[in-house]
Amino acid sequence: MALGRDRVHYPGSMSNTPPPSNPGLDLESEILYQIYPQSFADSNGDGIGDLAGITSKLDYLADLGITMIWLNPIFDSPFKDAGYDVRDYYRIAPRYGTTEDLVTLVEQAHRHGIKVLLDLVPGHTSEEHAWFQQSARPEPNEFSDRHIWTEHAFDNGAGLPFIGGEYDRNGTYILNFFKSQPALNYGFHQRNRPWQQSPDAPGPMATRQAMVEVMKHWLELGCDGFRVDMADSLVKFDTEDKQATIAVWQDMIGRVRAMYPNAILVSEWGKPELAHEAGFDMDFYLDWGDNGYHLLTRESPDPLDRTHDRSFFAQHSDTPATDFIVQYEPLYRHGLFNIISGNHDTPRLAPRLTEAERMAFFFFLLTMPGVPTIYYGDEIGMEYVKIPTKEGGYARTGSRTPMQWDSTQPNYGFSTAAPESLYLPVSGGPSVDKQPQLLALTRQLIAIRRTTPALQASAPLEFLPTPHPRLLAYRRSHLTIVINPSAQPLDYPDANGTMVAGIGGAELTEAGLHLPPTAAAIVDTDK
């Protein structure tokens, strides 16, 4: 049982100020690409994607213009939640290869100008993790407080989800999500039970140090940073402004940055004002209910229901641009806030949105602030499918099917395995070899963005008034971007200059910019 790395207890206390930013960390022209590793490319024919498969596709990513990839969890796991139940933070899951395979991927990615971010799951482990197994022992030991345990076997968890009767320890243990994911102990901000420890108690402090050591290990091997799962959820019973959790991150990130000042940390938080206070470099705009991001592309009762879709980018919708603007505008000013094409937890845009509608969305995605983030396959229009759950995916499983490389090859070029042996079935439809219009547009806009400071991550943004509620117009320095997602032609008179890029037949006339249905344009007003 390899527990030696976790025997160091950090004696310090929580920091009250954010760690200093590194002025040498330039994220302005980055393009982030999310890879679900078991579904990207299979190099050995076992039906499951792997690290060597990802390495083999670096030319494609570099040609697309990608500068950074984020890999969903690749650590050893029982895969009851597709790897978000980590059994060993220091071991690569055998299905993906070895540590040497990861080092090779990182080295080759760097040669292509691509950074590699791993997925860090700091809030919980697998129930099979050695830390948890030690904490479950009846006799006290140094791991007794690594996870959260109540005082006795019939305790109700104080309202938190819990499991009892599984182990000899006299207590129930607190869960984060599934039964297989016991929560790590970072303490409680508000405490009303004896077993609820302060965030600066020895047990929570040891948990912090353990996670710092995990990050340092992979950074030492050449990885560039981490996307952090559920970054806001560490301290239990925290206040709405998450000040206790923020202090924990300030402490951990500060210690990591002391040794690795260029480490990149991206939070799954959805509230950039809090994420950046905690020390993260970027935060994701997540699909929450009726928030601004949801209104853009996912305002549908069903991932396949086009008829009742009121998403802004659905042509027949009546949702005005202001519904998004009023929610987004106060958020992006706090730091890099990444808009995503989708992720492993959300339904894909296709087939609910047409290719023309998705092209209009990508026009928006690649001209907005933050670091645009593309979920693998969205650039070719891969489709959401309703299929049985796999490894805890449930409804999310339909967004995790194999990447479709070549329609002329078995399994669309994902794997040489028999179709029945694939991790998930190939959904069919679009593929890289068919060169969809969306793929060509993505390449074009990424190339423009990476060479145009006015379109990059922190360049200024100003939303502009429009003569029609379905028009979205905004200025990035000397560039004006206008998007018409509607089913009717619309004109935007306040666009004079030179067209940099356009889709859907957009054209500049003496009267201004004319936009047919589902059209968009970038106009350089300095020319």
Of the candidates 50, 19, 27, 52, which has an alpha carbon nearest to the alpha carbon of residue 37?
50
Reply yes or no on whether the pLDDT at 34 is more than 50: yes
CATH code of the domain in which 320 resides: 3.20.20.80
Supply the pLDDT for residue 527.
Answer: 63
Model confidence over 372-424: pLDDT tens digits?
999 999 999 999 999 999 999 999 999 999 999 999 999 999 999 999 999 99
Buried b (16+ CB within 10 A) or exposed e, 282-292: bbbbbbeeebb
Host domain of residue 425: 4-124+205-450
The distance of Cα 464 from the centroid of its chain, to the nearest Å, equals 29
Structural contact between residues 52 and 97, judged by C-beta atoms closer than 8 angstroms: yes
Residues 81 and 220 both lie in one domain: yes
Last residue of a domain, one of 450, 470, 503: 450
Q: pLDDT grade, residue 496 (50/70/90)?
A: confident
Q: pLDDT grade, residue 260 (50/70/90)?
A: very high
Partners of 284 in beta bridges:
338
Q: Is residue 476 part of a domain?
A: yes
Q: pLDDT grade, residue 175 (50/70/90)?
A: very high
CATH code of the domain in which 477 resides: 2.60.40.1180
Q: Is residue 44 part of a domain?
A: yes
Q: Is residue 153 part of a domain?
A: no
End-to-end Cα separation, the chain, in angstroms: 66
Q: Is residue 185 part of a domain?
A: no
DSSP-derived 3-state class of residue 97: coil
Q: pLDDT grade, residue 22 (50/70/90)?
A: low
Whole-number Å distance between alpha carbons of 245 and 255: 16
HEC per residue, 325-378 = HHHHHHHHCCCEEECECCCCCCCCCECCCCHHHHHHHHHHHCCCCCCCEEECCH
Residues 6+ apart with CB under 8 A from 21: none
Reply yes or no on whether the pLDDT at 427 is more than 80: yes
Supply the pLDDT for residue 19.
Answer: 47
Residues 446 and 464 both lie in one domain: no
Residues 319 and 408 both lie in one domain: yes
Last residue of a domain, one of 450, 479, 495: 450
Helix axes 355-365, 437-450, angle to 10 degrees: 10
Rg from Cα positions in the chain: 24
Residues 427 and 490 both lie in one domain: no
Structural contact between residues 266 and 218, judged by C-beta atoms closer than 8 angstroms: no
Model confidence over 45-102: pLDDT tens digits?
999 999 999 999 999 999 999 999 999 999 999 999 999 999 999 999 999 999 999 9
Q: Is residue 158 part of a domain?
A: no
Q: Is residue 231 part of a domain?
A: yes
Supply the pLDDT for residue 290.
Answer: 87
Residues 92 and 70 both lie in one domain: yes
Supply the pLDDT for residue 8.
Answer: 25
Residues 427 and 471 both lie in one domain: no
Q: Compute the average pLDDT of residues 484-512.
A: 95
**DSSP H helices in 57-150:** 58-64, 99-111, 130-135
C-alpha torsion sign, points 328, 303, 85, 217: negative
Supply the pLDDT for residue 11.
Answer: 28
Residues 437 and 501 both lie in one domain: no
Q: pLDDT grade, residue 478 (50/70/90)?
A: very high
Of the candidates 96, 4, 117, which has an alpha carbon nearest to the alpha carbon of residue 53?
96
Query: How is the beta sheet containing 462-463 ordered, strand by strand?
Result: 462-463, 472-476, 479-484, 519-524, 498-503
Residues 389 and 519 both lie in one domain: no
Residues 6+ apart with CB under 8 A from 361: 296, 297, 313, 341, 349, 353
Q: Is residue 299 part of a domain?
A: yes
Model confidence over 267-301: pLDDT tens digits?
999 999 999 999 999 999 999 988 999 999 999 99
Q: Work out the mean pLDDT of the chain and round it to a whole number.
A: 94
Reply yes or no on whether the pLDDT at 18 is more than 80: no
Supply the pLDDT for residue 70.
Answer: 98
Residues 213 and 342 both lie in one domain: yes
Partners of 119 in beta bridges:
227
Reply yes or no on whether the pLDDT at 38 is more than 60: yes
Q: Is residue 281 part of a domain?
A: yes
Residues 440 and 486 both lie in one domain: no
DSSP per-residue string spanning 24-50 = T---TT--EEEE-GGGT--SSSSSS--
Q: Compute the average pLDDT of residues 145-157.
A: 96
Partners of 298 in beta bridges:
none
Of the candidates 250, 211, 226, which has an alpha carbon nearest to the alpha carbon of residue 122?
211
Supply the pLDDT for residue 526.
Answer: 82
Residues 382 and 493 both lie in one domain: no
Number of domains in the chain: 2
Residues 234 and 381 both lie in one domain: yes
